[in-house]
Structure 1
Amino acid sequence: MNILVTGGAGFIGSNIVDLLIDNGYDVIVVDNMSTGKKENINKKARFYNVDITDNDLYKVFEDEKIDYVIHHAAQIDIQRSINDPVFDAKVNIIGTINLLECCRKFDVKKIVYASSAAVYGDPEYLGVDEKHRVNPISYYGISKHTPEHYIKVYNELYGLKYTILRYANVYGIRQDPKGEGGVISIFIDKMLSGKNPVIFGDGNQTRDFIYVKDVAKANLLALENGDNEIINISTNKATTINELVNIMNKIMNASLKPIYAEPRKGDIVHSYLDNKKAKDVLGWKPDYELEDGLKETVEYYRLKYANDEVAADKGKLRR
């Protein structure tokens, strides 16, 4: 079975690729390397440096005889979507349509699409379930929701099966604090350097932090389950940003106090997603508590930064 993972050199995509290969699947990675990293690409995957908006994507489908698609290539920065909505729409909407056309033309069996909690906007109730009204408050939320409609119509017109996974706030190993920048990776980057983390707002805003390995498992299960369903992937728990800093200080044996800044446009104040449907339909549940996932993530970055320093020192010696 040939599975194409778009964005497979990126943070979430590369973790999914690793899990698929560990489970015996043949995996093809498409990534334009704008935020993806060469070191993230599993050596057993077949890699194509292709943008999902390009016609070159059709050649990948023609050559590889793709059975399933897991779609994670995206523009994911809310602030960039506000500053450059045209680019945001080109990647997330037009890119997905181009991918769907490839699926239609080459008889792909199913697409698993990575959507976002951002489609819900400001919650009318907590935890937010899949029946909650969709009302995005950022262009990113709009550009992640719009492909859901296209995917549904491709199913109705051409029989392309799908599972749409709406993620809470994903964190974990390989998240780039200087690129795709989730709050946890940014905090770890600063705090490991002894710098105070910056919180936009008073720190009492809440998020639902889901570990990337739990997200990868949900994608694996969605290949064979949850046909034509929209499913939240979350912990069903709210954590304040202040609580997050306290847990990270504990893990790092530090006492760094946050610096508070003005709230940012497009940021939601309180959010956590109900995950009952994922348990019922996918047979999925998160394996990682927040502190466990954070410990693994902090250890990953500690080792990475240590290795980077050694490599930099060796480079100086060569010169």
Structure 2
Amino acid sequence: MKVLVTGGAGFIGSHVVDLLIENGYEVVIVDNLSTGKEEFINKKAIFIKKDIIDEDLCEIFEKEKPDYVIHQAAQIDVQKSIDNSVFDAKGNVLGTVNLLECCRKSGVKKIVYASSAAVYGNPEYLPIDEKHKVNPISYYGISKHTAEHYFEVYRQLYGLKYTILRYANVYGIRQDPKGEGGVISIFTDKMLKGERPIIFGDGNQTRDFVYVKDVVKANLLALERGDNEVVNISTNKPTSINELVEMMNKIMNTSLEPVYTEPRKGDIVHSYLDNKKALEVLGWKPEYSLEEGLKETIEYYRVKYVEDEVAVGKKG
């Protein structure tokens, strides 16, 4: 079986590729390397540098003939979407439609789509289940949800199966703190350098932090399960940003006090997702606690930080 992974050189996508290859799949990576990194590309995969918005994308499908597609490529920065809504929509909506056309034309059996908790907007109740009203408050949330409608209509018109995975806040190894990094990678980068983490707001806002290794397992399960379903991928546990800093200080054996600043536009105060449906339709549940995931992540960055320092020293 051959799987084409968009964004396969990125944070989550590269982990998806690694696990696919471990499980015996042939893998084709399509990534424009705007945020992905060549160092993350699995050498056993076929890599094609290409933007999903490009008109000749379907030529790759004609040549490689993938059975499945896992669609991870996206503009994922909420603040960037607010600053440049056109750029956000081009990648997340038009790029996805272009991809779906290629799937239709080449006879792809199924596509797994990385959506987001951002589609829900401000929650009317917690935890947020898949039946919760969709009311995004950022252009990113709008673009991710708009794309979801296309999957359903492509199924109705052409029989293209899909599973939509709405991720909570994914964190872990390979997340770029200097790009579109999540709060954990940004905090880790700062705190390993002895710098105080910056919190937007009072730090009492809560998030549902799910480890990347758990997320990629959900993607593999979705290849064969959960046809035409929308599924939350989450821990079903809220953690405040203040609690997060406290936990990270404990793991790092530091006592860095956060710096508090003004809340950001488009940020939701409280959010965590119900994950019961993931167990029901995918047979998936998270295996990592936040503490376990943080320990692995921090150790990865600690080693990388030392390696980078050594590399800089050699250049000097």
Task: Give the corresponding residue for 2:82.
Answer: 82
Matches of 2:310 and 2:28, distance apart in 1? 32
The residue identity in structure 1 corresponding to 2:103 is C
Give the superposition deviation at 1:175: 0.2
Deviation at 1:71, TM superposition (A): 0.2
Normalised to the residue count of structure 2, the TM-score between the two structures is 0.99
CA distance in structure 2 between the partners assigned to 1:250 and 1:240 by the alignment = 15
Residue matched to 1:218: 218
Distance in 2 between residues matched to 1:224 and 1:57, nearest whole Å: 25
- In structure 1, the partner of 2:152 is 152
Shift of 1:315: 2.2
Aligned residue in 1 for 2:192: 192
Counterparts of 1:213 and 1:113, CA distance in 2: 17
Residues of 2 paired with 1:290 and 1:164: CA distance?
24
Separation in structure 1 between the aligned mates of residue 257 and residue 147 of structure 2, nearest angstrom = 40
User: How far is the alpha carbon of 1:57 from its aligned partner?
Assistant: 1.2
Count of aligned pairs between the two proteins: 316
The answer to whether the Cα contact below 8 Å between 1:50 and 1:56 also exists between their aligned partners in 2 is no
Q: Report the AA paired with residue 185 of structure 1.
A: S
Measure, in 1, the Cα distance between the counterparts of 2:124 and 2:164: 22
Amino acid at match of 2:61: F
Q: Which amino acid aligns with 1:172?
A: G
Q: How does 1:253-264 map to 2 (within 5 A)?
A: 253-264=253-264
Deviations 1:34-93 (A, max 9, x none): 000000001101000000000231111011011100001000000000000000000000
Q: SS at the partner of 2:292?
A: helix
Task: State the one-letter code of the partner of 2:23.
Answer: N
User: SS where residue 154 of structure 2 aligns?
Assistant: helix
Deviation at 1:195, TM superposition (A): 0.2
Aligned to 2:22: 22
CA deviation string 1:103-157 (max 9, x = no partner) = 0000000000000000000000000000000000000000000010001000000
Classify the secondary structure of the residue corresponding to 2:271: coil
Percentage of matched positions with identical amino acids:
77
User: Within 5 A, what are the aligned runs for 1:123-272?
Assistant: 123-272=123-272
Aligned-residue offset at 1:314: 2.1
1:51 counterpart residue number: 51
Q: Which residue of 1 aligns with 2:105?
A: 105
Structure 2 match to 1:279:
279
**Letter of the aligned partner of 2:154 in structure 1?**
Y
- Which consecutive unaligned segments of at least 5 residues does structure 2 have? none
Cα displacement (A) at 1:166: 0.1
| Structure 2 residue matching 1:291: 3-state secondary structure | helix
Following superposition, which runs of at least 4 residues in structure 1 exceed 4 angstroms of deviation?
none
C-alpha distance in structure 1 between counterparts of 2:239 and 2:294, whole Å:
13
Tell me the alpha carbon deviations over residues 231-268 of structure 1, each in whole angstroms, 9 at most, x when there is no partner: 00000000000000000000000000000000000000
- In structure 2, what residue type is equivalent to 1:183? V
Aligned to 1:156, the other structure's residue is in SS state helix
Root mean square deviation, CA, Å: 0.5
Query: In structure 2, what is the Cα distance between the partners aligned to 1:158 and 1:302?
Result: 48
Q: Does 1:91 align with 2:91?
A: yes
Q: 2-side partners of 1:209 and 1:181: how far apart?
A: 13
CA contact (8 A) 1:165 1:231 kept: yes
Partner of 1:309: 309
Give the match's secondary structure for 1:260: strand
* 1:311 Cα deviation from its structure 2 partner: 1.8
For residue 98 of structure 1, report the CA deviation from its aligned partner. Answer: 0.2
CA distance in 2, matches of 1:42, 1:306: 23
